[in-house]
Amino acid sequence: MNSDQNASASPKLTLNLSLQDRNTFGFDTSAELAYDITAADQIPAVIEQIAEKKLPWRVLGGGSNVILPKVLPGATLLMNIVGQEIIASNADSTLIAVGGGVNWHDFVAWTLDKDLPGLENLALIPGTVGAAPIQNIGAYGVEIGEYIDSVKVFDVKTKAFITLTKDDCHFAYRDSYFKQNPQRFIVTKVVFNIPKQWQGRIHYVDLAKQFFGQSSPSPEEIFLAVCKIRTLKLPDPKVIGNAGSFFQNPVVSSEQYETLLQKHSGLASYPDANGKRKLAAGWLIDQCGFKGRRMSNVGVYEKQALVLVNHGNGTAQDILRLAKCIQDKVQKEFGVSLEIEPNIL
């Protein structure tokens, strides 16, 4: 997989390209200029053209974590760099290099096929590999930052390809150096470090229930269980438009948690690594009566209050209007701020 070394043809350019099938909300969106990026070395020339014309721009992967307007002005770089390969292996771990445009779930399944477990808790998360480190995706007690060795990027500021180590990435809960510096880095390849020593992680409530009485399920069993749980909780974007979890689980101080617990005995929460408490945003929203509620063409998913959905013909404005209603109500009832997880373009 040497796409960043070998010279490649100029990327295909399409005017006014429909992105309805490139965003999981299914919004009727079009890109004024859409560049099909299939190799890393296509990026510098495209960025140079964009700079010369002073165009707004952005990178779009699977469109699973974005809220798109009716028209995306300027340039949209469609991240379609594919390929994955094992590049090193020793007694302790295996290094895998993966193109930024590879489908995330397909990659997780591939690691299990290659007998390289570790990522199974992150099965069925929509989107691409290139987006994974930006958001530091996580689920069921695992964050992707734990398994990243390095990230290959094009630095728009210095106009050079560089490699950022795991430490350089400043991974935190749903956060990273990339997220803190928007529009600076374009992820072309991610190198994962998969330890040879594997231990299944099933302590999260849903998985613990799934494996009650079974102390050591296999990686494949955990993978299938995660897929089953996510399918039951989250709607298929091909059936009803959504971006998965719409709000981050808010983190509060232990003091605020104790105060809330006195008023709300059923408060759903998890301990945080820093001694704080992570509240279940879905529970807060549910308590405010939003689960299953519909507002025009959008609404809150009937099975999971953390998911906002497009019932058809909804727009970014519709979703953001509903989100604001939810944020205001949760703030009023609990004194807690909810942060939107998807990127608003």
For 123-151, the pLDDT digits (tens) are 999 999 999 999 999 999 999 999 999 99
Residue of 146, 221, 333, 341 marked active site? 341
pLDDT at 164 over 60: yes
Residue 124 lies in a domain: yes
**8 catalytically annotated:** no
Q: Where among 50, 79, 108 does a domain terminate? A: 79
Residue of 174, 184, 201, 293 marked active site? 174
Beta-strand relationship, 66-67 and 343-344: parallel
Do 340 and 290 reside in the same domain of the chain?
yes
The residue range of the domain holding 312 is 241-344
**230 catalytically annotated:** no
Q: How many domains does the chain have?
A: 3
Q: Which pTM was predicted? A: 0.89
Do 25 and 90 reside in the same domain of the chain?
no
Of residues 272, 279, 326, the one with CA closest to residue 300: 326
Do 172 and 259 reside in the same domain of the chain?
no
Give the per-residue pLDDT at 7. 61
Give the per-residue pLDDT at 233. 85
Do 310 and 284 reside in the same domain of the chain?
yes
% of residues, the chain, pLDDT over 90: 89
Q: Mind listing the pLDDT tens digit for each residue in 286-315? A: 999 999 999 999 999 999 999 999 999 999
Do 256 and 279 reside in the same domain of the chain?
yes
What's the CA gap between 59 and 71, in Å, rounded?
Answer: 15
Residue of 64, 176, 245, 269 marked active site? 245
Which CATH number characterizes residue 315's domain?
A: 3.90.78.10
Do 58 and 153 reside in the same domain of the chain?
no
Do 152 and 168 reside in the same domain of the chain?
yes
Q: What is each CA distance from 207 to 2, 156, 245, 284, in whole angstroms?
A: 39, 41, 18, 22
* End-to-end CA gap in the chain: 31
**52 catalytically annotated:** no
